[in-house]
A and B are shown apart, each in its own frame.
Chain A
Amino acid sequence: GAGVSQSPRYKVAKRGQDVALRCDPISGHVSLFWYQQALGQGPEFLTYFQNEAQLDKSGLPSDRFFAERPEGSVSTLKIQRTQQEDSAVYLCASSRTGQSSYEQYFGPGTRLTVT
C-alpha cells in the first residue's frame, strides 16, 4: 500500500516568507507526528496529532510554527516569517495507533532552505 507522502520535497524560501508543508499519512492511521531534522542530527519531535486533536505541541520551536490536521487525515505544518535557523528537513510520520508499541512510518521529508 501507499506509504506516507510529503510535499513539496524541496522548498526554498526567502527569509521572512511563510511556508506550508503537507503530509499525507497512511490511510487509517490515527497518529501523526512531525519531526525536524537538522543537518547531521537525528530527528527532533515537533508535534503530535491523534486524529484531528493536537495533543502535544511541546516541540514547536516558536509561535511562528503552526500545525493542523482538521479532518484527521492530511496535516499541514506552517512556518511564518521563516528564519535561516528554520532550514532543516521536516519529517512526517504516522502510526496505526498512538500506543507505545507501534512503530512509526516516515515520509521522505521536505527539505526547507531559507535564504
Chain B
Amino acid sequence: AQSVAQPEDQVNVAEGNPLTVKCTYSVSGNPYLFWYVQYPNRGLQFLLKYITGDNLVKGSYGFEAEFNKSQTSFHLKKPSALVSDSALYFCAVRDMLGVSGGYNKLIFGAGTRLAVHP
C-alpha cells in the first residue's frame, strides 16, 4: 500500500540551531515527493519537491530536503531555524493510481508540528 509516515508529532528546536523534520514513504515506482507548510488558519503552502535529479533539493525560505532512495526517506532540513518557522509541516507523495490516470493525486503524512523557541 502507498503511504507516507512522519514519525514525529512534534519537533522542538532552539532558534539558530539546525532542524530536521523526518519523512519516509512507501510507493511503487519512482516517487515524486513534496513538502508543504501550514500556518494557523491558512492553507498549505508549497515548500519544495523532488522529481528527479540531485538528491538534495532546495526550496523556499532556506529549506532543503534530502532524497534517500535506499532508506525511502525525504527529510526536511534547515541549517538555522527561525521562530517564524514554527508551523505544521506535511510530507506528501504522488499516488501512483493518479499517475496512471495522468494526474497528480497526493498522499499526505499526518504532519509534524515544528516549534522553534527563542
Q: Does A19 sit at the interface, judged by CB under 8 A?
A: no
Whether the pair B103, A109 counts as a contact (CB closer than 8 A) is no
Provide the residues of chain A in CB contact with B97, threshold 8 Å.
58
How distant is B37 from chain A, measured CB to nearest CB, in Å? 11
Contact B103 A91 (CB under 8 A): no
Closest to A95 in B: B104
Residues in chain B near residue A6, CB distance under 8 A: 43
Q: Cβ of A103 and Cβ of B34 under 8 Å apart?
A: yes
Stretch at the interface among B13-21, B45-53, B73-81: B45-53
B82 at interface by CB-CB < 8 Å = no
Given A48-B98, A106-B43, A106-B44, CB of A101 within 8 Å of CB of B106: no
Also in contact, A56 and B101, with CB within 8 A (given A91-B43, A108-B41): yes
B83 interface residue per 8 A CB criterion: no
Q: Are A108 and B106 in contact (CB under 8 A)?
A: no
Question: Which chain A residues border B90 with CB–CB below 8 Å?
Answer: 42-43
Any A CB within 8 A of the CB of B95: yes
A 47-83 contacts with B by CB, 8 A: 48, 50, 55-56, 58
Interface residues of A, CB < 8 Å — how many?
Answer: 30
Q: Which residues of B contact A (CB under 8 A)?
A: 4, 32, 34, 36, 41-46, 49, 51, 90, 92, 94-95, 97-99, 101-111
Q: Mark contacts of A98-115 with chain B using CB atoms, 8 A cut-off: 1 yes-contact digit, 0 otherwise.
A: 111111111111000000
CA distance A102 to B49 in the complex (A): 9
CB pair A40–B46 under 8 Å, yes or no, is no
Q: Which residue of B lies closest to A5 (CB)?
A: B43
Point out the residues of chain B lying under 8 angstroms from A100, CB to CB: 32, 51, 94, 98-99, 103-104
Other-chain contact of A45, B102, B106, B109 (Cβ < 8 Å): B106
Distance between Cα atoms of A105 and B105 in the complex (Å): 13
Question: Looking at the complex, which one of B4, B41, B95, B103 makes contact with A98 (CB distance below 8 Å)?
Answer: B103
Contact status of A43 and B44, CB under 8 A, knowing A56-B98, A101-B51: yes
